[in-house]
Chains A and B, each alone.
Chain A
């Protein structure tokens, strides 16, 4: 993502990474995004990743699959992933076309995502037995 306008921004916020996708990505760009993100998780020792897709008005099946893969890879590298900001139309299209996000948590917006990661990581680090309510 070094040349041309940035299609995805990956920002560090405390121990989380916030990746915002600004426009629809083709398959190559999607793969590139996945590599960048997983790389940065290690660099910043992130505990959580928020992928913000609020700007997307379409999401193809490869995109959905890649998001799922990212979540799985991030988990293996020790970070919890949430997807936020799926638009109503996109949500319904995804369901209609049978594109699932698997076990990945999806939330309304960035604020929700941060709150969710806070509650999850605090729970993990404090080691208390209180389970957060399932989303």
Chain B
């Protein structure tokens, strides 16, 4: 707000208020900070109450919440005082690291920061309500800083979330498709998690080179852990099976969930050449039969 507007708004104010107004704008923030420090306990309680009231942060215990709200409050006031968001950024990142695994959502984090902003604004209203023009200037000083804080916290939280997601994607990719030799010339590929086209491509590559290195004759691909496949991936799977056959290995697919079976039939993938067996156990038994193993318990009933 410019000085002209100030003068206009302050037109009918008392001498005292004019005197107060003359205190430079940059002195308003320290004043404000002092006020927030003074009423720290009460404001923090108000805030914590409103958080509980709004049903946010249910994942945290009351003690944790008290500890976190205290440090968020202190950081908040510090940013208002210094105007530097770097410390807050670090704190927000650190906080996000701790609370993301607990299942705290973005709207909750943003919600509590906005609640704090409202609680503090309301307390400022109460203190300065007698002098409208001063209140206006206090809010002018307060609002941009408060908005910047909300912005910083939200951005830090989302960035941290994205970092966690990226990291998890990387680790999924790393351990995604192990090719395990179980017997001579028999490989198992357990697939866990969603098969996207990138993973399907990787799977093909690992399977085909695995067949070569282990001289596999039978491969069991277990997709019990795959929640769903789309048309492209199903098609890719069929091609992989065909390519394995060209390399002299037969492929048995096990653990098709009812949902996947339905999907495959609905989208009309040609599965007539695919050898599928209900579960991994059945698949292994069939594979052993193909390889000529006769497996039975010692002295048991099975066997020739």
Interface residues of A in 95-120 (CB under 8 A from B): 95-96, 101, 106-109, 112
What is the distance, in angstroms, from B210's C-beta to the closest C-beta of chain A?
Answer: 9
Asked if B211 is at the interface of the complex by the 8 Å CB criterion, the answer is yes
Contact partner of B211 among A84, A89, A108, A135, CB < 8 A? Answer: A108
Which of B7-15, B164-172, B237-245 is the interface stretch?
B237-245
Complex Cα gap A126–B211 (Å): 32
- For the complex, is B217 an interface residue (Cβ under 8 Å from A)? yes
**Contacts of A123 on B, CB cut-off 8 Å?**
none
Which chain A residues have a beta carbon within 8 Å of chain B's beta carbons? Answer: 84, 86-89, 91-92, 94-96, 101, 106-109, 112, 133-135
Does A91 lie within 8 Å of B217, measured CB to CB? Answer: no
- The 8 A CB mask of B238-282 against A (1 = contact, 0 = none) is 011011111111100000000000000000000000000000000
Q: Which residue of A lies closest to B210 (CB)?
A: A88
Say how far B92's CB is from chain A's closest CB, in angstroms.
47
Verify A91–B290 contact, CB threshold 8 A.
no
Question: Knowing A96-B239, A133-B290 touch, does A91 contact B250 (C-beta < 8 A)?
Answer: no
Q: Could you tell me the distance between the alpha carbons of A84 and B217 in the complex, rounded to whole angstroms?
A: 13
What are the residues of chain A within 8 A of B249 when measuring CB–CB?
A: 108
Q: Which of A84, A88, A108 contacts B209 (CB 8 A)?
A: A88
A87 vs B243: C-alpha distance in the bound complex, in angstroms?
Answer: 10
Whether A94 contacts B246 in the complex (CB less than 8 A), given A88-B205, A133-B290, comes out as yes
Are A86 and B242 in touch, CB under 8 angstroms?
no
Within 8 A of A (CB), among B189-240: 204-205, 208-209, 211-212, 215-217, 239-240
Compute how far the CA of A125 lies from the CA of B205 in the bound complex, rounded to whole angstroms.
Answer: 40
* A95 proximity list for chain B (CB < 8 A): 239-240, 242-243, 246
Q: Which residues of B contact A109 (CB under 8 A)?
A: 215, 248
User: Closest approach, in angstroms, between the C-beta of B241 and any C-beta of chain A?
Assistant: 9
Closest to A105 in B: B248
Q: Across the interface, do A91 and B246 meet the contact criterion of CB distance under 8 Å?
A: yes
Interface centre among A86, A91, A107, A135 (most CB of B within 10 A): A91
Q: Is the CB of A88 within 8 A of B290?
A: no
- Chain A residues with Cβ under 8 A from B205's Cβ? 88
Known: A92-B243, A112-B215. 19 other contacts (CB 8 A): A86-B246, A86-B247, A87-B212, A89-B208, A91-B208, A91-B244, A92-B204, A95-B239, A95-B240, A95-B243, A95-B246, A106-B245, A106-B247, A108-B212, A108-B248, A109-B215, A112-B217, A134-B250, A135-B248
Q: How far is the CB of B109 from chain A (nearest CB, A)?
A: 46
* B242-A88 in contact (CB<8A): no
- Specify which chain A residues have a CB less than 8 angstroms from the CB of B204 in the assembled complex: 92
Taking the closest CB of chain A, its distance from the CB of B255, in whole angstroms, is 23
A34 to chain B, nearest CB (A): 20
The distance from the CB of A123 to the nearest CB of chain B, in whole angstroms, is 15
User: Which A residues are CB-close (under 8 A) to B211?
Assistant: 88, 108
Q: List 17 A-B contacts (CB under 8 A).
A: A88-B209, A88-B247, A91-B243, A92-B208, A94-B243, A95-B239, A95-B242, A95-B243, A95-B246, A101-B246, A106-B247, A108-B212, A108-B216, A108-B247, A108-B249, A134-B250, A135-B250
Report B-chain residues with C-beta under 8 Å of the C-beta of A101: 246
CA distance A86 to B209 in the complex (A): 11
Shortest beta-carbon contacts, A-B, top 9: A88-B208, A107-B248, A91-B243, A108-B248, A91-B246, A95-B242, A95-B239, A92-B243, A95-B243
B248 touches A112 (CB 8 A): yes
Complex: A92 Cα to B211 Cα, angstroms: 13
Q: How far is the CB of A55 from the nearest CB of chain B, in Å?
A: 14
- Bound-state CA distance A89–B209 (Å) is 9
0/1 interface trace, chain B 58-71, chain A, CB 8 Å (1 if under): 00000000000000
Does B248 lie within 8 Å of A88, measured CB to CB?
no
Smallest CB–CB gap between A79 and chain B, Å?
19
